[in-house]
Structure 1
């Protein structure tokens, strides 16, 4: 009996299982820091009760009803843009109120009642509040530029921005549900909401029609979903009539700042214009709420793929655990993490700009540590409108004729066969590859 037991212990299948168990323990250890950190990261779903309380307080202040709250036009009409009104809805010190008043003389601000309900009233460092309420640092910015992307020099026709060969942007409005404090186009906001003139939009569409290499059109602003269904329908119909336009995209933050805009009527209209995509802009797990889920689910049911373009913002999400949790929450509401943009040095926003090393550290803590669906591209926009440039940690260490040296997500180094070269017979190469893939250096 003892001999049988010993035989079982050394059986190859037992040995493999022991190795697998040991490896699983190693993997569990690698994620322990995240599992501890995530206990303390607030999310929209965890804070639902607080949101509902704030919602009731805001509705009471406006003398409004639940039906009003769900009406996106009510949300737009009642954006808070006056510090006296804000003080009645959120506790502010005299100094904070004075700073907001001072900043508002130079930079416009407004926040929807819905987005205000997501803010932690007593926390000046609340990541939602930092994105919506002006800061004195906007005035103290000494090195930001009005137009670091040189959009004014990449506009061959009214309302067009073109940086690439086969795609371009139409800017259809300066209007937003909320004017984000990190906005890259704050120079265009002005003091009055102004959709693009019909003549400008027609000129932009004529330009697209005259350039057959343009296959992809991004409709942006401001926020295009603050326009009426009818006007959006007309723009999309015109683009549909251009044979070489293969896809349309809409860039919108309303699923984050005013999800009530995603109505059944809007979704039915968008559904007529497939293939169409929506890229939105969640920056923190607190923004992923049940209201946002209702909006994204409607879009998903209409067959519209959703991607997220987060901006890496100092004090908001420049933390590997926060960004990972954001991406996990997004996948739960049908939104695929697409880009993490390094914040641009726009005048009045540079207090949000983190280091590129922080962005690379976040990518190091995503690749391999979570599912590929939760790993977006980390992008820096080259100065002067030279285009998006992806940044990655260094995984390819060296290239030789027959082999490459790679570093894995765990920091292990392997020598791998470079398949483009045939220097020996295939049998010998197979042997070499098997040996070298286990040459790990710790």
Structure 2
């Protein structure tokens, strides 16, 4: 039987057949602390209710979420320390985050903003949104505005169009980028009104879709992405490296190939953030580097994201992928190819010392 409503509680997950009643009985404390939402689109695809499957692990609550490590932080990437105005995070000189709402179509169990998002979470009222836009207008160094939150595609199309138009009217803003789970979590929401709301006259609008496993790229999700791409809106992807979901070279290869085929350029592969109760998802950075190295030569450059770690405390993202070059200009360099063979650079001349 097809699901018709988003499950927003343990009882809702049980009723949809996504969670066994005996498991739900043990998850009350998790549900009290962290929001639950799983769309009908995903409920019908949740690995038959398998909490260990690649979709179940991402979207179904687990007792492991109550295991809080000393190093975990309520604000793991330091949003609050760089928020001069409500809804704005200004971490880098030339770009800001604009968080218009805190609601999402689904609540991922590994979310780095899990302490902030959910039902009843703060959304910007008209005066607060106006103040956030005024902050952007007053700073000519701001070239890119990233709509995040919460998921900006959860906004009503008219309100979303108003925000895009407001940013489009700022002469020094060259790019508006939206980060969204909607195309893979609730693809039916991507209708003509939403696509029209993303159009700007003078500003480039990009959409970054969050997708972690090839099973998320259903026919419906691919159609939603095609509607966006056909409207001339460039697409990139963000993927979180998750233990038990995609920490496997073959899975990452399949995911990135499928994204590129859907006209989505893999952009970031994120190392898991230190969000509370997410240790069971985090890999060791050495494992991430090994996986990224395994993709070199296995898939084309179109399929290669940058492996990054968001430094706790708000210090920004740092690429942490493998290195292929050693040495210096004086002694010469050694570069490693995708097979693991090492070569002098520049090459030694024939017969040279």
**TM-score, length of structure 2 as denominator length:** 0.95
Distance, in Å, in 1 between the alignment partners of 2:223 and 2:350 is 50
The answer (yes or no) to whether the contact 1:141–1:351 under 8 Å persists in 2 is no
Of 242, 245, 267, the residue aligned with 2:195 is 267
Unaligned runs of at least 5 residues, structure 1: 1-56, 63-77, 418-429
Distance, in Å, in 2 between the alignment partners of 1:172 and 1:93 is 35
Distance, in Å, in 2 between the alignment partners of 1:92 and 1:195 is 30
Residue correspondence of structure 1 range 224-263 to structure 2 within 5 A: 224-263=152-191
Residues 136-171 of structure 1: per-residue CA shift (max 9 Å, x gap): 011122332101111111111121111111011000
Distance, in Å, in 2 between the alignment partners of 1:263 and 1:119 is 24
Between 1:347-356 and 1:95-104, the stretch displaced more is 95-104
**2:35 alignment partner in structure 1:** 108
Which structure shows the higher helix fraction?
A: 1
Equivalenced residues, count = 351
Residues 282-337 of structure 1: per-residue CA shift (max 9 Å, x gap): 00010011001110000001100000000001111111111111001111211111
RMSD between aligned residues: 1.8
**2:107 alignment partner in structure 1:** 179
Shift in alpha-carbon separation, 1:83–1:402, aligned structure 2, 3 A: closer
Unaligned runs of at least 5 residues, structure 2: none
**1:31 alignment partner in structure 2:** none
Of 151, 167, 191, the residue aligned with 2:95 is 167
Distance, in Å, in 1 between the alignment partners of 2:20 and 2:297 is 45
Shift in alpha-carbon separation, 1:85–1:266, aligned structure 2, 3 A: closer
Find runs of 4+ consecutive structure 1 residues off by over 3 angstroms: 91-95, 432-436
Of 104, 116, 125, the residue aligned with 1:197 is 125
Distance, in Å, in 2 between the alignment partners of 1:231 and 1:378 is 34
Distance, in Å, in 2 between the alignment partners of 1:205 and 1:433 is 59
Residues 355-403 of structure 1: per-residue CA shift (max 9 Å, x gap): 1011101111111111110011000111211011001212112124263
The answer (yes or no) to whether the contact 2:133–2:166 under 8 Å persists in 1 is yes
Residue correspondence of structure 1 range 271-286 to structure 2 within 5 A: 271-273=199-201, 274-286=203-215
Distance, in Å, in 1 between the alignment partners of 2:159 and 2:182 is 17
Of 24, 33, 56, the residue aligned with 1:97 is 24
Is the partner of 2:26 in helix, strand or coil?
helix
**TM-score, length of structure 1 as denominator length:** 0.76
Larger Rg, first or second structure (1 or 2) = 1
Distance, in Å, in 2 between the alignment partners of 1:185 and 1:193 is 11
Is the partner of 1:313 in helix, strand or coil?
coil
Of 295, 313, 322, the residue aligned with 2:242 is 313
